[in-house]
Every structure is written in C-alpha cells, then in structure tokens.
Structure 1
Amino acid sequence: MAIYEKIAAKPAPLSTKGPIHWIRENLFPSPLSSILTLMSLYFLYLVLPPLLNWMIFDATWTGTKEEITNHGARWIFIIEKFNQFIYGFYPEEFYWRPNLVLFIFTVYVFAFKYIDTLKMKIFIIATFPVIAFILISGGLGLEHVETEKWGGLLLTIIVASVGIIASFPIGILFALGRQSKMPIIKTISVMYIEFIRGVPLITLLFMSSVILPLFFPEGMDFNKLLRALIGITLFQAAYIAEVIRGGLQAIPKGQYEASDAMGLSYWQSMGLIILPQALKISIPNIVGSFIALFKDTTLILIIGLFDILAMVTLTNSDTNWLGFETEGYVFVTMIYWAICFSMSKYAKSIEDRFNTNHK
C-alpha cells in the first residue's frame, strides 16, 4: 500500500473564486455598500424598462411621418436625415472622399499602436491631415468643395483631429519653455499658457473669426474653418503644455543627471530619455484633454459652422420634420459617447503596451 495517495485536483470554493466571490467583494462588501447596491438595482429597474421600450421595442424604424402611431422613438427621422448628420451639405456624389479618409484614419490608428520608431510616428501624425484636406477639399485634380459645405460628423472629426494633432507639438514646446532656465523664453511661455487658460474657448473662437483677419495683409483672407482651427489649436496647446509639464516634473532627477553623465545635449536628452517617459506618464491626462476638446468642438456653431450637434437644430427647421429634437439629441449623444469611449479604450491599450513597471 502506497504511503502517499494521489489526490485529484478540486476547483477552488465559490467563496474564494468565481462570480459569487466577485459579487460579495464588489457589490456587498459592507452593509453600506449593500444598501447602495440594492438602491442602484432598484433605480435600474425603474429606468431601464421604459428606456428600452422607448428606444427599441416601441420605436418606429420604417414608414413615413404620417404613419407613426406609437409613443416610442421615431428613428425614421434619423434614417431620413442620416447623410446630413454625417456629411452636412457635402455633395453626395463625393461621399467616397470622406469615406476614404475614414478608412485611412482607421489604418493609421491600428498602425500607430504597433510602430516603435519615433520618426515613423511623427510622419504618420503629420501626413494624415494633409491627405485628409487634399481628399475632402479637392486637390491633385479633384473637384474643389468649399469648406462652407462641410458639416455634421465630418466637420466635427476634422476640427477635433486637426486641433489634437497641431496642438500636441506646440504644447510640448511651451511645456519645455516653461521649464527653461532662459528668463525670456520662460516668461513668454508662462504668459501664453496662463492667458489662454484664463479665457474660455468661445472667446478665442470669436477672436480668431473677427480679430485675427485684422492682422492679415490687405487682400489676404482665410475662411471661417481655418480661423476656427487656429483658435482651437492655440487653446488646446496651452492645456497640453500643462499636462506635459506635469509629466516632466514626475521624472526623477536622476534621469536628468544620467543623461548629463552620458554627454547628451539638451535636445538629445529630451528626445531620447526625458520626453518619452513624461509622455508615457501623461497619457491619461493627455487623452482627457483630447476628449474634452472633441466635445468642445460644438462651440464652432457660434461662428457659423455646423457640426453634428448643430445639425439637430438645422434638420428640425425642415417643415416636414418638425418636433424631432429629442431623437436627434439622443442620436448625437450616442455618437459622442461611442467616439469618446473608443478614444479612452485606445489610449488605455497604448498605456498598457508601453507600461514598463516591474511588478
């Protein structure tokens, strides 16, 4: 008879692993948490069924306005005005251009995540706006489309993308300038950052639309979209500068001393050692600023540009489709949430990929 008998492996008790353990640890860890969990479940019980009935089960998806008989969401309005929500007044025969830009952007997003070369990353970031404007506005033999016809989600993405891409390098320079030991450069950087952060974006949009043309030479003029892009870029650069500065301050002093000991110049030290670490640390705050900028693009309505939110009011001015504001705002809300959530998850995946912490 063997002294030791082989014991079959048994699964861990449900009290230490599995869904029951997760529920106990996260939903009912204490009496107060249990009360809050039950209150939340009751709130969802009151809210979710009517919401689902309105949005899905009792909604109207097909037919005409006159055929609506139920009290659910009237999504036929969104279906009827879908192209206007997405493209604005962009000519229908040229829809393939923004669609191609979206495809290129998607490829860039997946490629950017897996490219380790800094030069290639910079090339991708700098190239995309050029390609987008050539295709959408008309270039290289394509028929020109005035920016006044751009609108909807197309305009929202363009304004947000250009603002994000253009403000990022400017913000880095101002962050470095604010930490510079040169008094003039530091003073200029501090004055710029504090002035821009002290005024709302709507003020800068008015200034870029009304005051900026006064500084142009006689006979020179920029359209409204370009003025808005300048104002948004200057505004966002100040916030990015502060985010990057926070990352730079989080770098241990020993990293600066190590780069000096290696005989690296200032720009070599920043480009190869300091900035990569500061940017990695600042990813969550950078993404937060970009998400805020994406939502702030709705303010371009005040200078006569119609983004996707402005299209709700504009499409409801159609006498054949009056009274559909609720469906329009719900549709726009879902689009904003989907894009902002995707930006957050994409940034989290980048953060995890470049995470070098040893656990």
Structure 2
Amino acid sequence: MTDATLDNAPNAFVRRETLAQQPAPLSVAGPVAWIRSNLFSSPLGTVLTLVSLYIVIVGVEDLVRFYILDAVWTGANREACLADKIGRPVGACWPYVVDRFQYFVYGSYPVSQRWRVNIVFVMFALGVVWLLWNKAPLKKLGAFFFFIILPLSGFILLLGGATAEGLLRNLLLLSAALAVLYAVVSFVPSLAFWTPAPLLAAEREASPWQRFYRPKRLILMALVVFGLIAVIQQQLGLPRVDTGLWGGMTVTFLISAVGIVFSLPLGVVLALGRRSRLPIIQLLSVIFIEFVRGVPLITVLFMANTMLPLFVPQEYSPDRLLRPLIGVAVFASAYMAEVIRGGLQAIPKGQFEGAMSLGLGYGQMMRLIILPQALRIVIPGIVNTFIGLFKDTTLVAIVGIFDFLNTIQATLVDPTWATPTTRTTGYAFAAIFYFLCCWGMSRYSIAVEKRLAAGQRR
C-alpha cells in the first residue's frame, strides 16, 4: 500500500514524527514502585515492614526526644544539665562534649605542642585522599608518602626529643646522599656502570634533569618533607612528649592505622606461606595463624604489655605504646591471612597454569596475575577485618592506653560535669564517632567493589 493510498483512506493515520521519550509509569519506576517491590511485595513482607516500622517509631521517638528535643546545648558546667535547675526534663548534656572535645582528640598531650598532632592529622588526611581517590595522580608517589614518609614523620613530630632529632638527622643525611648519588649518575651516565642497559638507553633520550627527576621523585619527596620538619624543629623546637601522655582520637587512629597498614602485607605473606609447598614454611605459617586466631585479643594485649618486657633486657624493652601496636598488628594479620587465603583458593587453576606457561616465576605470577584477582574477590572480607580492627582498638584500655573511649570514661568522674545524663551523652558521642568511621570505610569498600566489578558473574 503506497502513501497516496493511505492519504486517500478515510480512517488511515500514519505518524511521520518520533514521539519524545515518556517517563516510566509510577507503578514500574520511582519511589512508589520501589516501596511496593521492597517493602510490600508479599503478605509476609508487609507484616514485617509494619512491625519494623512500629519498632523504629517507638524507639526513635525516645532517642530524638532525649538527644535533640530535651537536650541541653549550651552551658559552662553541670548546673546547666540538672533538671531541678531548669525546671523541665533534661536530655543529653552536649556542653560536656564541647568542653571536653580537646581532651577527646589529644588526650593529655601538652596544649602548647598540639600543633604537632594537627600536622600529623593533615598529613594523614592527605595520604588517605591520595591513595583512595581514584583520579589522584602519581599513585606510586602517594603510596611511598603514606607507607614510608608518613610513619617516620609522624613518629618524629609526635615523640620529639633527642631520639626523634637523631632519627631526623640520619634521614636527612641518607636522603641527601641518595639525591647526590642519583644526580651524579643522571648527569654523568657513563658512571652508571650498575644501571641496566635498557634503562640507560631509555634515559639517554631525556635531558639530564629529566633523567634525574623522573625516577627519583621518591628521594626528592623524602628530602623535601624531612627538610621541612628540620626547619620546624629549628624554629619551634620539638621537646619530647612521652607516649604516656598520648590519648584520645590520636591514639585510636594511630593504633588502627598501624594495624591496617601492617596486617595486609603480613596477611599476604602468611597466606602464601600456608599454601607453600615447602613443609617447614607451611608448618610455621599454620602454627602462627591458628595460635593467634585461637586466643582473644585481650590475651594478646596482656602478653605484649606484661610478658614481652620479661624476655628482653630492660634497656631494650619496647615502649608501652609500641607493645599494643605490635600485638594488634600481629592479631589482625592472622585473620587477614585467612581472608586472603580464601581469595587465593577461589582463583581457578587455569590462571596459575596460564601464568606459568608464559614463563613467569613464582613472584611475578603472584604479583601480576594471582594476587590482584584474589584481593579483588575478597574486598568485602578485607574491609570487614579493617572495621573489626578499628572497633577492637577500644580493648587497649585494659593495658592502660588512653584511647578515645578511655578518655571519655576518664571524664565521667569529673565533678564539673557530674550529671545523670553525662555518661549517656559521652557514650552516644563515642557511638557516633565509631559509626561514622566504620560507615565511611564500608561505603568506600562498596564503591571500590562496584568499580572493579568484584561481584559480577560472567
């Protein structure tokens, strides 16, 4: 049938233009569809939704009333949070948190030296963003900053004293010596008799300054950072602050960061050792993992704090804060090893055979083929271990370390803020802090998992 025939037909209709795309019906897409499919999809789901909604309404009403509506937001001492003084029901005493916030962050660290802690916090935030932000440039340089420069710089800034000054002097001399050595080698390539020929051939195409700068950014970063710390030390001074004065969020972040940083590589080594074909390495790895996983963290902390000094001379006894750091890192590494071993077992045998068929050695096979896939698979388990480690830092309070939760408990006996609601307010503030930190790690884990398509089946 032609167009002319259709035009002459009395009831014919031909649409000659394309209609604009219409939104999906509310019953298919949108909030109404989501509620119907997720909350009221079946009679049982409807009942569970209504029961849950009732529990939330009943529970949340009291929480909102206590922590927001009836809460006290301003005041200078306990008088502001007493019911008989203001003539109405009293909820949370938030002025107490505001007044003791500095102590919650720094513990007993001297007030005049808290700028050192702030510098470490800024460096830590910079390192975390540098590593976790997917679009950040120079990832290798960021990893060197976070895992090498930051721990050394943080130790020097937080501790201070003669020990930190000696370490800073040695680091500056080492960085300067390496920078001079690489500069000589870069500007006089004929002296680089130990440099591989392919590397020299590639670098001859660049200028002498580019030959020095491109592969030596790590040395330059170390020299710049340690030089700045040396200038600060000369201008402002870094008096020693004993670790017994450290506390609050500073110690919590320190213990969790050390545990997270060291548990992952140690867990990889232990997982590979447990799967090793060498009987002695496999036996030692199994004994270590099973022994550490078979005892609670409290026992490990007691052993590290009480028993460890008995096995070494008094002059070599570890610092009282270093002992729980070692205990937490060792404890977390055993659990991390089992998580990573699960990822290794999930890799098909063909991946190993394919890597070996390419002529890759054991180290190259693990580093380039197997471990990237295994770690991608167990991202949820790794982050779950990190979250558990972060919350377990509160257990160091039993060995006398003033972490964040211990600083809150210490302020509860202060008569300045002794009210019936002070304890509840302090613990609520601690709950908010831990929830935000753990929730942030969880959300980042989900984002990484989606980006790497860790759960995608093909």
Common topology (TM > 0.5): yes
Q: Does 1:91 align with 2:110?
A: yes
* Amino acid of the structure 1 residue aligned with 2:394: T
* Amino acid of the structure 1 residue aligned with 2:339: V
Structure 1 length as normaliser, TM-score? 0.94
Which whole-Å CA distance do the structure 2 matches of 1:299 and 1:220 have between them?
25
Q: Does 1:137 align with 2:233?
A: no
**Distance change (3 Å), C-alpha of 1:342 and 1:103:** same
Residue aligning to 2:173: none
Give yes or no for contact 1:112–1:124 (8 Å, CA) kept in 2.
no
**Distance change (3 Å), C-alpha of 1:245 and 1:336:** same
**Distance change (3 Å), C-alpha of 1:117 and 1:260:** farther
Which whole-Å CA distance do the structure 2 matches of 1:335 and 1:27 have between them?
30
* Amino acid of the structure 2 residue aligned with 1:112: L
Give yes or no for contact 2:131–2:143 (8 Å, CA) kept in 1.
no
**Distance change (3 Å), C-alpha of 1:117 and 1:197:** farther
* Amino acid of the structure 2 residue aligned with 1:264: L
Q: Percent identity over the alignment?
A: 46
Residue aligning to 1:101: 120
**Distance change (3 Å), C-alpha of 1:98 and 1:89:** same
Give yes or no for contact 1:208–1:230 (8 Å, CA) kept in 2.
yes
Residue aligning to 1:4: 15
SS of residue matched to 2:26: coil
Which whole-Å CA distance do the structure 2 matches of 1:183 and 1:263 have between them?
25
Residue aligning to 1:279: 375
Residue aligning to 1:333: 431
Shift of 1:307: 0.8
Q: Specify which of 132, 144, 147 is matched with residue 123 of structure 1.
A: 144
**Distance change (3 Å), C-alpha of 1:11 and 1:119:** closer
Give yes or no for contact 1:125–1:165 (8 Å, CA) kept in 2.
no
SS of residue matched to 2:276: coil
SS of residue matched to 1:330: helix
Q: Specify which of 318, 322, 339 is matched with residue 226 of structure 1.
A: 322
Larger CA deviation: 25-34 vs 165-174: 165-174
Residue aligning to 2:97: 78
Structure 1 residues 1-359: aligned runs within 5 Å: 1=7, 3-6=14-17, 7-64=19-76, 65-68=78-81, 69=86, 70-113=89-132, 114=134, 119-120=140-141, 122-127=143-148, 128-138=150-160, 139=164, 140=168, 141=233, 142-323=238-419, 324-355=422-453, 357=456
Larger CA deviation: 213-222 vs 112-121: 112-121
* Amino acid of the structure 1 residue aligned with 2:15: Y
Which whole-Å CA distance do the structure 1 matches of 2:347 and 2:32 have between them?
42
Larger CA deviation: 1-10 vs 140-149: 1-10
Larger CA deviation: 4-13 vs 15-24: 4-13
Unaligned runs of 5+ in 1: none
Q: Greater CA radius of gyration, 1 or 2?
A: 2
Structure 2 length as normaliser, TM-score? 0.75
Which whole-Å CA distance do the structure 2 matches of 1:174 and 1:120 have between them?
27
Larger CA deviation: 160-169 vs 327-336: 160-169
Give yes or no for contact 1:136–1:145 (8 Å, CA) kept in 2.
yes
**RMSD, matched Cα:** 1.9
* Amino acid of the structure 2 residue aligned with 1:3: V
Which whole-Å CA distance do the structure 1 matches of 2:105 and 2:39 have between them?
41
Which whole-Å CA distance do the structure 2 matches of 1:311 and 1:333 have between them?
14
Which whole-Å CA distance do the structure 2 matches of 1:96 and 1:32 have between them?
58
**Distance change (3 Å), C-alpha of 1:352 and 1:125:** farther
Unaligned runs of 5+ in 2: 1-6, 8-12, 169-232
Shift of 1:130: 2.1
Which whole-Å CA distance do the structure 1 matches of 2:381 and 2:112 have between them?
40
Larger CA deviation: 92-101 vs 251-260: 92-101
Which whole-Å CA distance do the structure 1 matches of 2:263 and 2:109 have between them?
27
Which whole-Å CA distance do the structure 1 matches of 2:323 and 2:20 have between them?
73
